[in-house]
């Protein structure tokens, strides 16, 4: 009987020890999976925010587009091309914008402006969206200082999308760093 009891205690001890090893194994693997799930969750949150930002820009542009298209002014000649990774308006760009503001005032019509910012493909797509927005905002601020009402202007960035020239040459990239003014009635 004592041999049977010793064997029973030995089996119970062995099962207890194997259960602890299994629990440690499971805890280790669950922690690894949890880390991966957390990383995926962070990536999904970033994508969700990017999607919401893009939707907001599209809705803002859509509100302006409800008006009737009148004409478009592409400020992409040498006076409006932006230096690489810059949203600074040159003196030539300011002169060109002054001429545009004077035309708007002379026409004396209630118009809305969509100011579109573009970049070349140098840099990351997210960085280019920000830079395109900065360029459009620089034009908006300047035109506001010249007397164009802020509530009549909206900005949107297309970043590196919709290039007008190949991004494979220096000249082409310079042409893609531009601002487009769309005039809507």
Give the helix/strand (H/E) hosting 182: strand 179-184
* Alpha carbons 118 and 136: distance in angstroms, whole number: 8
Query: What's the number of CA atoms in the CB half-sphere (13 Å) around residue 173?
Result: 12
Residue 168 shares a structural domain with residue 102: yes
pLDDT given for residue 114 in this prediction: 92
Q: Which tens digits make up the pLDDT trace of 18-61?
A: 555 567 766 776 677 778 777 777 777 777 777 777 777 767 66
Q: What is the CATH number of the domain that holds 77?
A: 3.30.1330.60
Q: 118: which strand partners?
A: 159
Residues 6+ apart with CB under 8 A from 92: 78, 79, 80
pLDDT given for residue 116 in this prediction: 92
Expressed as residue numbers, the domain containing 153 is: 67-184
pLDDT given for residue 146 in this prediction: 93
pLDDT given for residue 51 in this prediction: 73
pLDDT given for residue 76 in this prediction: 55
Mean pLDDT of 76-89: 66
Residue 3 shares a structural domain with residue 92: no
Residue 51 shares a structural domain with residue 73: no
Residue 112 shares a structural domain with residue 178: yes
Do 140 and 98 contact (CB within 8 A), yes or no? no
Q: Which tens digits make up the pLDDT trace of 129-181?
A: 999 999 999 999 999 999 998 888 999 999 999 898 999 998 888 888 888 88
How do beta strands 112-118 and 153-159 pair? Answer: parallel
Which of 66, 90, 121 is a domain's end point?
A: 66
Residue 71 shares a structural domain with residue 61: no
Which of 66, 89, 116 is a domain's end point?
A: 66
Residue 53 shares a structural domain with residue 135: no
Which of 66, 83, 118 is a domain's end point?
A: 66
Number of domains in the chain: 2
Residue 3 shares a structural domain with residue 79: no
Residue 43 shares a structural domain with residue 71: no
pLDDT given for residue 129 in this prediction: 94
Residue 25 shares a structural domain with residue 72: no
Residue 93 shares a structural domain with residue 10: no
Residue 73 shares a structural domain with residue 11: no
């Amino acid at each position: 009987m004592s041999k049977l009891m010793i064997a029973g205690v030995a089996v119970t001890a062995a099962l207890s020890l194997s259960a602890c090893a299994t629990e440690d194994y499971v805890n280790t693997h669950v922690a690894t999976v949890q880390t991966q799930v957390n990383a995926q969750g962070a990536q999904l949150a970033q994508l969700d925010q990017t999607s919401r930002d893009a939707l907001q820009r599209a809705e803002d542009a859509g509100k302006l587009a409800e008006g009737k298209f009148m004409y478009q002014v592409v400020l992409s000649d040498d006076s409006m091309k932006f230096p690489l990774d810059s949203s600074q308006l040159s003196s030539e760009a300011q002169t060109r914008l002054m001429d545009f503001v004077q035309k708007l005032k002379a026409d004396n019509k209630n118009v809305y402006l969509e100011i579109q910012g573009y970049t070349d493909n140098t840099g990351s797509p997210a960085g280019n969206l920000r830079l395109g927005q900065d360029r459009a905002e620089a034009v908006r601020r300047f035109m506001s200082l010249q007397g164009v009402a802020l509530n009549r202007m909206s900005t949107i960035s297309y970043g590196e999308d919709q290039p007008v020239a190949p991004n494979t040459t220096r000249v082409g990239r310079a042409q893609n760093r531009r601002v487009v003014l769309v005039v809507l009635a």
